[in-house]
Structure 1
Amino acid sequence: MGAALAVAWPLFRTRTHMLLAQSGVALFFGVHYILEGATTGAAMNALAFAQALIAIPLGARPGFRRAYLATLPLIAVALAATWSGAASVFAAVGFALISLGRYQLTAIRFRAFLALAVPCWMLHNWTVGSVPGLIADTCTLLTSAWMLRLDFVAARRLAVRVT
C-alpha cells in the first residue's frame, strides 16, 4: 500500500491531496523500515507522517507555520539518535528536502522539492537493501517528472495568455 501511495501522490492535483497521500506513504514505509531495521528511515517517516498532516493548513492558517517549522530541528535530533552511517545521511537529507517542499504553498514548487528528495531516498533504500523502496522511488520519480512537466506546460500557457 505504501508503494502504491508513493507512486500515486504526484498524480494528485491539490496540495492537500498530495499531503494526505504522503502521510499514508510515511505510515506504511515507517513500518517497513522498522521491519528492515532501518531506524533512521523509520524515524524520518514517523516525523514525515506528523509533518504532512501539520502542513495541510499552512496556506489558510498562518499559525500552523510555527508548528510546522518546529518539526525541522527534529530531523537533526532523529539523525543523531538513530545514526547508522550513510543511510542516515541519505534519509535525513531526503526528508529535509521533503520538508522544504511541504512548506511551499504552490503545487509546482512542492513537486519540485519532493522530486529532488527522491534520489536521496533511493540512495537510502539502496544502502539498507529495501527493494520495495527502490521500486517505489523509481516509479515516484517518473510520476513526479511527468506531473512537473504538465505543471510547467500549464504555467507557460498561462503566462502566454496573460502577456
Structure 2
Amino acid sequence: MDTTEEQPGKTVDIYRDTWVRFLGYANEVGEAFRALVPVSLVWGSYAVATAYVTADAVDKGKKAAVAHGDNPGKRTRVAVAVVDTFVWQALASVIIPGFTINRVCAGSLYLLKRTTKWPLPVRKWTTTAIGLSTIPFIITPIDRSVDFLLDSSLRKVYNEGEDK
C-alpha cells in the first residue's frame, strides 16, 4: 500500500507518514560514509536532517495554530508544539543517532585496523556497511529514550503550564 494515499479518517503527516521522514536519517547515512567521502558531504547530510527537523517543527506549529483558532493561550500552545517537536526531532533524528553511528564507525575502523590485515579501502567500506546496517537497530531505542527523557523533563514543564 502506498503510504502517501489518505486513508478514510486519517490525515497523512508528510513528515512522519511518507518518504520525507527518511530525510531525518540523512546524517546517519552521512556518518556511515564519513570514512569514504569528504567531510563537507557529512556536514551537508546534517544540513538536510536539520532542515527536515525544522520543517517538521514549523508544520506542527502551524497545525497547532489552526487547531487552537482564536482561543486564549494559542501562542503558548503553538510555541509548545514547535519547541517539543524541534527538541524531540533534534535529539532523536540528528544528535543522538549521528553521535551513535559516528562512534560505531570509528570503533569499527579502529578494531578492523587492530584485528585484520585488510587494506584500508576494504576496512573503510566494511566500516560504512557496519554503520549503515546499525541504523535500523538504533532507531526505536533512541526514540523511546528521547520520549522518556522529554516526558521526565521538558514535558513536565509544559503540563504544569496547562494546569494553571
Same fold per superposition (TM over 0.5): no
Under TM normalisation by the shorter chain, which class is it? 0.3 to 0.5
Structure 2-normalised TM-score? 0.32
TM-score in terms of structure 1 length: 0.32
